[in-house]
Structure 1
Amino acid sequence: MTDTENDNPPDGYVPSTSRGPYTTHNGPFYHKVTEDGFWHGVRVKKRHCNSRGITHGGMLMAFADGLLGTAVWRETQMVALTVRMNSDFLSSARPGDWLEGTARVTRATKSVAFCEAELFVGSRPVLKASGVFKVMARHKAPD
């Protein structure tokens, strides 16, 4: 059985294949693009959880950090590094839950971007995060 065999992502989600080694190890992750933006998702597994059987806060924060970075990339077409991230834990996710989230840039300058992310299980909010990212102009996507 592969690691993705029982993931059953919702319609529209496809496997994410361009992630770095740390994120790939934490996945597998999926993504989709809609008219309103983008979404990332993951089927929560036991290995994502703490000793209480709920998704580890570090896993939720790493997932949100990826969403925030993706939002900055989509807005600026530049690599960005996390300067600060604040997270509010609103509820939990358990093994078998489909955890998904989206993010948006609220303001961008030449050197920094400010953004917000939200994670959900169904319609239930799990985590809200905000971040400040250093935009790396020398890593701009080719035109």
Structure 2
Amino acid sequence: MSDDLTDAQTAAIPDGYSQLNWSRGFGRQIGPLFEQNSGPGQACLGFRVEEHHTNGLGNCHGGMLMSFADMAWGRIISLQKSYSWVTVRLMCDFLSGAKLGDWVEGQGELIGEEDKVFTVRGRIWSGDRTLITGTGVFKGLSPRKPRPGELAFKAEA
């Protein structure tokens, strides 16, 4: 995949979104991905469904949507806790599909934390259609220095 964005990838990116700099590894393969910060510790991820995201029917592949859910929902841990994390469990209910050219968004809400195991409720949507709902369980590996848009880690007393 080239570092240059195609015309289709940059067409009609919603206001407030900027491209994430995930330029290596898996993020590079499925990107480009975009982020809209809505305040400290809050963000929404998005992507435009391109040909490399589709299945044989021209719909966004369920594996792409689930991978995106993993990143979009787990992102809340980075944003609110400044922790590196890995996925323990991801449970998704597929409710609708996305087609080539659709703009897809996703966001998670931190609903529980115990012993650095975080539970997140999430949603993936396109326009007014909910594509996926579900929950994720993520293991916090270690605190790290906050990045732009992330809240500072607070050590427990």
TM-score, normalised to structure 2, is 0.83
Partner residue of 2:148? none
- Give the whole-Å Cα distance in 2 for the aligned partners of 1:51 and 1:98: 19
- Give the whole-Å Cα distance in 1 for the aligned partners of 2:113 and 2:54: 34
Q: How many pairs does the alignment contain?
A: 141
- Contact 2:73-2:108 at 8 Å conserved across structures: yes
Q: 1:96 aligns with which of 101, 117, 134?
A: 101
Matched, 1:117 2:122: yes
User: Between the two proteins, what is the percent identity of the paired residues?
Assistant: 30
What is the deviation of 1:52? 1.4
- Give the whole-Å Cα distance in 1 for the aligned partners of 2:91 and 2:100: 25
Q: 1:33 aligns with which of 34, 37, 59?
A: 37
Gapped runs of 5+ residues in structure 2? 146-151, 153-157
Q: Which amino acid aligns with 1:6?
A: A
- Give the whole-Å Cα distance in 2 for the aligned partners of 1:123 and 1:113: 28
- Give the whole-Å Cα distance in 2 for the aligned partners of 1:19 and 1:123: 30
Q: Deviations over 1:40-68 (max 9, x none)?
A: 11010121111111111100000000012
Change (3 A) 1:40 1:4: farther
- Give the whole-Å Cα distance in 2 for the aligned partners of 1:106 and 1:4: 37
- Give the whole-Å Cα distance in 1 for the aligned partners of 2:19 and 2:132: 22
Q: Deviations over 1:21-47 (max 9, x none)?
A: 101210101001114921111010121
Partner residue of 2:143? 140
Matched, 1:126 2:138: no
What is the deviation of 1:117? 1.4
- Contact 1:79-1:140 at 8 Å conserved across structures: yes
TM-score, normalised to structure 1, is 0.90
- Give the whole-Å Cα distance in 1 for the aligned partners of 2:125 and 2:132: 7
Partner residue of 2:8? 6
> Superposition RMSD on alpha carbons, in Å?
1.9
Partner residue of 2:149? none
- Give the whole-Å Cα distance in 1 for the aligned partners of 2:101 and 2:49: 5
